[in-house]
Amino acid sequence: DVQLQASGGGLVQTGGSLRLSCAASGLEHDDYVIGWFRQAPGKEREGVSCIFSSDGNKYYRDSVLGRFVISRDNAKNTVHLQMNSLKPEDTAVYYCAIDSPRRDNGLGCPVMWYKSWGQGTQVTVSS
């Protein structure tokens, strides 16, 4: 079974930066997509960003465009989410998830694809 280990959350002031990492193990295929999601108290889970291992194609939700950067290290089956210019509204528990095998079809990375989820990591942005 594929397992995900998320890390990197913490407390930061507005305008600060954090880097989340998601390491996958137990993969049986080289092609996968890893996505980051977040859920704030009292709100629904929302997709933040995703990246495909095969071609590096990336997708972002509009509210994080220009602030967050997702990247992959295929050799380590690890995906990073660099979060810059953080805002209080970015406060949430962040989860990574994976679907494999999966290649980009140009339609983003809908939540229904994901088969395995990592544990959440708390990100708190103070004002």
pLDDT grade for 16, boundaries at 50, 70 and 90 = very high
Phi and psi angles of residue 39, each rounded to the nearest 5 degrees, phi first? -140, 120
CA distance 71 to 82: 8
Which residue's entry shows tokens 């089956």?
Answer: 77
104-118 pLDDT per residue, tens: 999 899 998 999 999
35-45 pLDDT per residue, tens: 999 999 999 99
76-109 pLDDT per residue, tens: 999 999 999 999 999 999 999 999 999 999 989 9
State how far Cα 86 lies from the chain centre: 15
21-66 pLDDT per residue, tens: 999 999 999 999 999 999 999 999 999 999 999 999 999 999 999 9
